[in-house]
Amino acid sequence: MSTNTIPCTINGKDVEVKEGSTIIEAMKANGVEIAHYCWHPGLSVAGVCRMCMVEIEGNPRLQIACNTQVVKGMKINNTSDKVKDAVKWTLDFHLINHPLDCPICDQAGECGLQDQYMHYGKYEPEMAEAKVKKHKVVDLGPRVVLDSERCILCSRCVRFTDEVSKTNELGIFNRGDRADISTFPGKPLDNNYSMNTVDICPVGALTSKDFRFRQRAWLLKEHQTVCTGCSTGCSTKVFFNKEGLFRVKPVYNEQVNGHWMCDIGRDVYKFVNKEARLFDAKVSGKGTGAGNGLGAEWILPKRAALKVGETLRANKGKGVALVLTGQHTVEEYDALLGFFKNDLGSDRVFHWVNTVGGGPESLEAFDGLLLRGDRNPNTAGLKESLQKFGIKTQWKELLEGLASGAITTVVVAGPENQTFFPDFKAKVVELSKAPRLIWLTAGKNLDLDNLTGDVTLIPLKSYLEKSGTFVNHAGLRQKIAKGLTIVPNALSLTEVAELFAGREIEAAESCSSIGVGRVQNEATTVRGSL
């Protein structure tokens, strides 16, 4: 790729563009608006929608911008009446068979057709014929539904399965106005990147089964973050409103994920929603208000952490071990390790390594596109922090310590996303051999709830509720910012470390909350009990 630039004129403005770039790329690079459907920066050029018409000086006819390369001194214009007229009536052709489904279409609100009609169209339709009826609600695979009436045959999804996922499930069948996107018989759209076709679909033809009909696009707010689904650390944004989180979409990041993300990463919002979360600290075992191991006491997380910290410091860290997972931020590791190393003088810190794919060799697995075998966002960061504090321990030392009774208290910074920890139950059984177990966890878990004995569960913040740094597999440091509050009283590991050390923490700054504030019709439940 040459880095030379060549001069050209776009809409009367002289600009320098990269040699070899197409007109549409030059326009995007210079912030010029241009109508388009089939062109996508991450895919090859198809040139089928004919929306990106431009006028080139010296050329009698209009050209498409996506498939024409810029040459030296080219004078390009896409604001002339001739171009506007061409775009308008091309749009009319696109909409000939497009149904009036906007009220029930999931794409409404973020739809290319709606936007471009308001921007370039606004014509009275001149089509007198009846619309061609095609298939509705076609099940393409486990995650995607097709409505072929809404499809405008831009072929983005077909090119995606051809070029990016390289699975070739989709194709265009039949001709003319009977043309139809579909899969081959017996071969559903079932690859780990299938939901990207939903994202790149400019209309509502491909919709996600997970998100289908759950919310309208305009009722959702978005927050940009980093995916915690694996050690690649794709840039993503989560969509939420006060009822909860609803979906995850990729954000363009040249260094990490390009335009895409995998389907596994799109499920990571589920464990953050309040149905899956622990809300208060649970203290069970001897000496609790609930009695001798018969029940549990639910108290404020902050109080529980202070109480635990007192006993930890009273024993001077004797027999205390810390278990960490690669699911928290670098700042949190540093704070907690700092407390254990400096305040307690303990070296017993252990790394709980999880393998989704079987043996330890699966940690190095890579599917060639984005997904990695190490399903933790920050394993590299954890290793870095452990090295910084000079900790070199093996998991079997913990087991030996538990067996010999040298370790009496285990503090576990448990995983946020328990679905990526197939050995979760086994580890709970293993670690509950400790006479005293303090488990810090974001999510609820039945195995943890069923534990009897001296157990303290403290709710943690999820990755959307705290700021910090994740280090991905390649050593790239990515900052995440606090975006919303789901569990108001939950603590981050930094706060836990502060409280363990007996220091007060600052009150959290406010930001948009889920399930807090007025919920629709909330008053009627109170009124109903009159």
Partner 1 sequence: MSLVQRPKPIANWFLPGILSGMGLTFSKLFWNLVTYVGGNRRIPTLNYPEEKYEYSPRFKGNHVLTVKKDGSLRCTACMLCATNCPADCITIVAAEHNDPTVEKYPISYQIDVLRCVFCGFCEEACPVDAIRMGPEWQTPGLNGASFNYDIMQLAYRPQLKGGIASVVDEKERHEAGI
Minimum CB separation from partner 1 for residue 528, in Å? Answer: 3
CA–CA distance, 308 with 411 (Å, rounded to integer):
10
Q: Are 401 and 321 in contact, with CB atoms under 8 Å apart?
A: yes
- Maximum pairwise Cα distance, the chain: 91
DSSP state for residue 460 in the 8-state scheme: B
DSSP string, 127-187: --SPPPP---SEE-SSSEEE-TTT-----HHHHHHHHTS----EEEES-GGG-EEEEPTT-
Joined together, the tokens standing for residue 78 give 């896409």
- Strand intervals (E) in 270-427: 281-284, 296-299, 320-324, 349-351, 409-413
Stretch that binds partner 1, among 4-12, 54-62, 127-135, 275-283 (CB under 8 A): 127-135
- Return the bridge partners of 16, or none: 7
Residue with tokens 């005293």: 436
Which one among 1, 294, 446, 526 touches partner 1, defined by CB under 8 A? 526
Binding flag, residue 129, partner 1 (CB under 8 A): yes
Binding flag, residue 368, partner 1 (CB under 8 A): no
Nearer Cβ to partner 1, position 201 or 382?
201
Which one among 137, 426, 474, 481 touches partner 1, defined by CB under 8 A? 137
Minimum CB separation from partner 1 for residue 514, in Å? Answer: 16
Joined together, the tokens standing for residue 295 give 């029940």
Stretch that binds partner 1, among 27-35, 51-59, 132-140, 298-306 (CB under 8 A): 132-140
Nearer Cβ to partner 1, position 219 or 511?
219
| CA angle, 282 then 288 then 289, to 5° | 100
Binding flag, residue 221, partner 1 (CB under 8 A): no
Binding flag, residue 213, partner 1 (CB under 8 A): yes
Stretch that binds partner 1, among 75-83, 215-223, 339-347, 352-360 (CB under 8 A): 215-223
Binding flag, residue 71, partner 1 (CB under 8 A): no
Minimum CB separation from partner 1 for residue 82, in Å? Answer: 32
Residue with tokens 């509705």: 136
Nearer Cβ to partner 1, position 368 or 517?
517
Interacting residues of 266 by C-beta distance below 8 A, sequence separation 6+: 195, 210, 247, 248, 249
Binding flag, residue 124, partner 1 (CB under 8 A): no
Stretch that binds partner 1, among 130-138, 150-158, 190-198, 329-337 (CB under 8 A): 130-138
Binding flag, residue 178, partner 1 (CB under 8 A): no
Joined together, the tokens standing for residue 441 give 């966890």
Minimum CB separation from partner 1 for residue 483, in Å? Answer: 23
Binding flag, residue 446, partner 1 (CB under 8 A): no
Stretch that binds partner 1, among 75-83, 291-299, 433-441, 514-522 (CB under 8 A): 514-522
CA–CA distance, 324 with 387 (Å, rounded to integer):
14
Q: By C-alpha distance, which of 434, 425, 348 is closest to 394?
A: 348
Binding flag, residue 176, partner 1 (CB under 8 A): no
Q: Edge to edge, what strands does the sheet with 320-324 contain?
A: 296-299, 281-284, 454-459, 436-441, 409-413, 320-324, 349-351
Which one among 119, 166, 187, 212 touches partner 1, defined by CB under 8 A? 212
Q: By C-alpha distance, which of 101, 62, 59 is closest to 81?
A: 62
Which one among 1, 130, 446, 507 touches partner 1, defined by CB under 8 A? 130
Nearer Cβ to partner 1, position 9 or 513?
513
Stretch that binds partner 1, among 177-185, 470-478, 502-510, 516-524 (CB under 8 A): 516-524
Site string for partner 1, 85-104 (x = CB under 8 A): ---------------x-xxx
Binding flag, residue 523, partner 1 (CB under 8 A): yes
Minimum CB separation from partner 1 for residue 137, in Å? Answer: 4
Binding flag, residue 126, partner 1 (CB under 8 A): no
Cβ-based burial of 269 (10 A; exposed 0-12, middle 13-18, buried ≥19) = buried
Nearer Cβ to partner 1, position 71 or 523?
523
How many Cα atoms occupy the beta-carbon half-sphere of 133 within 13 Å?
A: 2
Q: Are 265 and 234 in contact, with CB atoms under 8 Å apart?
A: yes
Binding flag, residue 214, partner 1 (CB under 8 A): yes
Binding flag, residue 528, partner 1 (CB under 8 A): yes
Stretch that binds partner 1, among 187-195, 206-214, 227-235, 474-482 (CB under 8 A): 206-214
Residue 48's identity, in one-letter code, is: V
Binding flag, residue 516, partner 1 (CB under 8 A): no
Give the residues lining the site for partner 1 (CB under 8 A): 100, 102-104, 108, 129-131, 133, 136-137, 212-214, 216, 218-219, 518, 520-521, 523-524, 526-528, 530
